[in-house]
Amino acid sequence: MNYKYMIFAVTAFLAPSIVSANPFIGLWEGVDPDDGGHQVLSISDNRQGGVNLLLHDTYFTLCNGGRGVSSGSGTPLRRTLLSEDYKTYCYDTQQTKAGARTYKMNAAGNLLKVDRSSSNLAPVIYHRTNTTSP
């Protein structure tokens, strides 16, 4: 058997999946410029053409400094990800606060900037710390 052709066939089969990989998927970290909180943002594939977002923060301004978690979903379009169902749930007050988020990726694919103007907060710059890409 000619291994050159086998390697070519496997490479041709895998190439489309590598090219179409979602650049947003992975783990991102940033510091909130409003309160200094350390944020960890997980973006995962929702298997429906979009992504799920899950944010943990050491200090939630929207929760008056209390504990909370933020989540949402969105569909990437080029280097932009819009989450219209983004919500922050505050554990201590049991309140949910909603506000759309728009994430913009830089050309290198290693930084995300999130627009939080719907909550009257400054943008956060996230850097990629992990990725599921090969």
| Domain presence at residue 9 | no
DSSP 114: E
| Domain presence at residue 90 | yes
Q: Strand locations in the chain, DSSP E?
A: 26-31, 38-45, 51-57, 68-77, 80-83, 87-90, 95-98, 101-105, 111-115, 124-131
For the whole prediction, is pTM greater than 0.95? no
3-state secondary structure of 125: strand
DSSP 32: -
| Domain presence at residue 92 | yes
| Residue whose token pair is 């943002």 | 41
| Residue whose token pair is 């650049």 | 23
| Domain presence at residue 2 | no
| Domain presence at residue 122 | yes
Nearest partner of 62 among 108, 92, 97, 34, judged by Cα: 97
Distance between CA atoms of residues 127 and 113, nearest Å? 9
pLDDT at 117: 82
The number of helix segments (H) and strand segments (E) in the chain equals 1, 10
How high is the mean pLDDT in each 10-residue block of the chain (134 residues)? 49 42 94 95 95 96 92 95 96 93 94 87 93 55
| Domain presence at residue 79 | yes
Domain that holds residue 42: 24-131
Looking at the structure of the chain, the number of domains it has is: 1
| Domain presence at residue 7 | no
pLDDT digits (tens, 9 = 90+) for 63-72: 999 999 999 9
* 86, 98 Cβ separation under 8 angstroms: yes
| Domain presence at residue 75 | yes
